A and B are shown apart, each in its own frame.
Chain A
Amino acid sequence: MSKQNSFYNTVDQIVSYGVEKGILHLYTSNQSFNGIHILLNGKPVLNFGSCSYLGLEFDPRIKEAAKQAIDKYGTQFSESRAYVSLGLYKELEYLLENIFDAYCVITPTTTLGHIANIPVLVDDADAIIMDQQVHNSVQTAVQLVKARGVHIELVRHNRMDLLEERIIALRGKYKKIWYMADGIYSMFGDSSPVEKIYALMNQYPELYYYVDDAHGMSIHGKNGRGFVLSNQTIHSKMVMATSLNKAFATGGGVLVYADKELARKIGTVGGPLLSSGPMQPSALGAAIASAQIHLSNEIIHMQEQLKDNIRFTRLMLEKYKLPIISEAGAAIFFVGVSMPKLGHNIVKRMLDAGFYVNLGIFPTVPMKQTGIRFTITRLHTFIEIEKMIVTLATVFPIAMMEENISLPEIYKAFKVPMPEEILLDKSVTSVIRQALDLQLYHYTSIQEVNKSEWNQLFEGKGTFDWEGLNLLESSFTENKLPEDNWLFDYLTVKDFHGNIIASTFLTTALWKDDMLSAREVSGKIEEQRKNDPYYLTSKVICSGSLLTEGEHFFINKNSPSWKDAMQLIFEKIYFLQERHNANHIVLRDFNKEDLEFDNLMVDNGFFKISMPDSHSITSLSWQHPQDFYNTLSVNGRNHLRKKVLRNSNKFKVEVITISDWKEEIDYWYKLYLNVKKKSLELNTFALPLKLFNQLAKNDNWEMLQLTLNDPTIETSDNPCCVIFSCKSKDTYIPMIIGLDYKYNEEFGIYRQALYQILLRAKKLNKHTILLGFAATIEKQKLGAKPLPTFAYMHLKDSFNAAVLSSISIPAKI
């Protein structure tokens, strides 16, 4: 499964969960409704989710104009605009140009407008800097130029200082630098710092501004020309796209230009304007009527009414002490709830009480910044707004109690200081846990953990039995480089009988953000790391470690309290994330599909990602190598015979159980670095030499060393391969390989090493070999079974992840 598919599967899982709970993908009943009163599943509810902020969709003049257009021109005029357009277009364009005081091109939707605009506006010699939160439709259109290799960057949301830094860095290299942003952002209702952007455009000739002002249209500015143009005229280096589908209330989009010629060009060559269908006559008729209202004084009163409603809503939210995250002044409100489970609970309760509000959830917001998003329109009355907020304030604490989330946790998730007047409620979680009598034990060293208890859970599952972790701790502490110093945390939850319900260990370390990215992406990033070694790296707290594979989580699902035990663990992990200042949490190496577990993870702020397949050989019941040969498929036998056995006698194979010879270990380390340099598929920092010194003298580990001894070729006497393997209970785990690539192709050193691992494991009477990630084909040829593996992830800050996805790789031809 590709990573992109994995992303869509995660979104599917989250949305489907909401659908299942009856709060997403809802339909109104087929009965007429008016204004904000709608029928959902036959039940009347007050709609607090509409983006038609001025309520113009029920204005009789606009409705009548739509009907008249249908009477005159039918339900559609189905011809490409390259050939013939309805005359209504001209009339609407004229009115819109009066509204914006600029040149306009009409598009069927704003998204199609971006697709028409961006590929024409942006030249291959230009660069794009997107605001981290710019609307998805802009990001989608940017994908079209990404394939052309256009330089694309992300900048942190609304950070003009960082934008200026990037302009300075890029200005000599690119012709134009396009900064792409929203006027008003659709989730938190905050706005672009337009005046500062204008100042930067005046200062830097290369800077151009592309802005989507869909949520600002109609409700701000003279004639409702939007937020961006509310205080200034259009800048000569600016292109704006806006929507007629929100407060304008008719459907369609508008592209706005300072330059007449540019407007003509986009209207002539913009892809969807050439080949996609036009706006329907009804929408055009309605848009003309709406534009006429916008050009009258009536729009001022409507804007004023909406502003009063916004002011009142804000006041009510403050009175009822709800955690407001959205900025003051916008018609979009966002009340933070942190975890998705609380969001689901509250939206459902609101719906049951007769109020429809939106769930603001991943991927539009980070997982742990879920919230109740609602909108206010001019049509809401104060009474209706007050009732909704009173209901929200009533259900909020009930839902918090049910989901074990406290107000301090919510404020913390959004990095918003908690208002002083809100008293810190005693966390209900501790009360519940006391009742259940679950106890969480936390240790920071394996030395503090009971050895037999730990090994009972984890011995034979990987290299993380008690001894293995002891070795890791001694190798990854007190090192010089930050990436070589890990923090260790051990968590175990027991019930009142002392039975272990859940247990795991965590390491906190510096990871490369592109660890699972395509090798081309990692290649590009590694170039930048030559100057900045810690570019796109993040501190990650993860179950297991970068040097262990396997089931790092023990969960006793036979216990009725397993979910509560997991809850305790999640809470502790979030606490540790803050304490260790880690950006991501990765709970990894799961391989059993379990919807109940998936939902528990989503509820607690995690999303699922695919990891590379893990490989294992479990069929070691054969007695002699010939028997093993017979277990293979025809292809496998051919491969073994021609590519492995034919060269076997050219290798001297040695098992070294202990070594303290510095030169030898240094040489093995060099072999390892050869492999590391080539392994961009799983891009990690190189392991420290100290680890190799520890492994070489550890009783549980051994080194399998291969040396070419073919008298017909000139080879050095130095070994060409070394494998560091852990001997754990019934399992043999080769963890690290080092290779001299000089003769790898000719003598098949890597596949020879795999075969020798197999023979060695058999000799040691092991039942299973864990072969880890990567090299699927080679491993499968020797009978290894790939095991689809996945992880659950939580990102505190998704900026680096977004930067990664924006890195351009020219499309393959």
Chain B
Amino acid sequence: MKITIGEYCQFSIQARVQLLHSFGQYICFTIIERKGIILFKLFDFYVEVIKDLYNHTILQANPIPCNSMITFYKKISFF
């Protein structure tokens, strides 16, 4: 089973997070300007989840369009 980026984008934020928890692979985590950024690999694409660390709310969970962003996140991440 594989979900494409286009199919993934049809879901709401909550459903995207559920998809990542269910089928995604955690890659790394970092904090930028009071926002937690968690990177996941879902099938053959990457997703950045941006979380408001004060309110504990998910602000977005969008696919990352370019590989350079992924490399950047990996370099600055805590894990």
Q: What is A's interface to B at a CB cutoff of 8 Å?
A: 304-305, 307-309, 311-312, 315-316, 319-320, 381-383, 386, 390
Contact = CB atoms under 8 A, between A and B. Distances in A.
Contacts of A383: 22
A305 B14 contact: yes
Contact of B12 (A308, A316, A319, A390): A308
A386 B1 contact: yes
Contacts of A308: 11-12, 14-15, 18
A386 B14 contact: no
A316 B23 CA distance: 13
B14 A304 contact: yes
A665 B29 CA distance: 98
Contacts of B18: 308, 381-382
Given A316-B1, A390-B1, A381 B14 contact: no
A382 B1 contact: no
A309 B11 CA distance: 9
B53 interface: no
Most buried by A among B2, B14, B18: B18
B33 to A, nearest CB: 28
A602 B45 CA distance: 49
B57 interface: no
B76 interface: no
Interface of B: 1-3, 7, 10-12, 14-15, 18-19, 22-23
A312 B11 contact: yes
B20 to A, nearest CB: 10
Nearest to A383: B22
B1 A312 contact: no
Pairs of residues from A and B, 8 with the lowest C-beta to C-beta distance, nearest first: A308-B15, A382-B22, A383-B22, A319-B1, A382-B18, A308-B12, A308-B11, A304-B12
A311 B22 contact: no
B10 A311 contact: yes
A312 B18 CA distance: 11
27 contacts: A304-B12, A304-B14, A305-B15, A307-B12, A308-B11, A308-B12, A308-B14, A308-B18, A309-B15, A311-B10, A312-B11, A315-B7, A319-B1, A319-B2, A319-B3, A320-B1, A381-B18, A381-B22, A382-B15, A382-B18, A382-B22, A382-B23, A383-B22, A386-B1, A386-B22, A386-B23, A390-B1
A309 B22 CA distance: 13
A390 B23 CA distance: 14
A315 B11 CA distance: 11
Most buried by B among A305, A319, A382, A390: A382
Contacts of A305: 12, 14-15
A305 B12 CA distance: 8
A330 B18 CA distance: 21
Given A305-B12, A382-B18, 11 more contacts: A308-B14, A308-B18, A311-B15, A312-B19, A315-B7, A319-B3, A320-B1, A382-B15, A382-B19, A382-B23, A383-B22
A311 B9 CA distance: 11
Contacts of B3: 315, 319
Nearest to B1: A319
B4 to A, nearest CB: 10
Contacts of B22: 381-383, 386
Contacts of A382: 15, 18-19, 22-23
A315 B1 CA distance: 10
Contacts of B15: 305, 308-309, 311-312, 382
A309 B19 CA distance: 11
Contacts of B11: 308, 311-312
A307 B10 CA distance: 11
Contacts of A390: 1
A319 B3 CA distance: 9
Contacts of A307: 12
A309 B3 CA distance: 14
Nearest to A308: B15
Contacts of A312: 11, 15, 19
A464 B6 CA distance: 64
A337 B22 CA distance: 30
Contacts of A316: 1
Contacts of A386: 1, 22-23
Nearest to B18: A382
A319 B14 CA distance: 22
A498 B18 CA distance: 63
B40 to A, nearest CB: 14
A386 B22 CA distance: 10
Contacts of B14: 304-305, 308
Nearest to A318: B7
Most buried by B among A305, A320, A390: A305
B59 to A, nearest CB: 16
B13 to A, nearest CB: 10
Contacts of A309: 15
A390 B22 CA distance: 15
A308 B3 CA distance: 14
A316 B10 CA distance: 14
Nearest to A309: B15
Contacts of A304: 12, 14
A386 B19 CA distance: 11
A381 B10 CA distance: 17
A117 B10 CA distance: 42
Contacts of B7: 315
A320 B7 CA distance: 15
B68 to A, nearest CB: 30
B47 to A, nearest CB: 15
Contacts of B19: 312, 382
A304 B2 CA distance: 23
Most buried by B among A308, A311, A316, A386: A308
Contacts of B12: 304-305, 307-308
Nearest to A316: B1
A711 B56 CA distance: 112
Nearest to B20: A382
B8 to A, nearest CB: 10
Nearest to A315: B7
A320 B2 CA distance: 10
Nearest to A319: B1
B3 to A, nearest CB: 7
Nearest to A386: B1
A311 B18 CA distance: 13
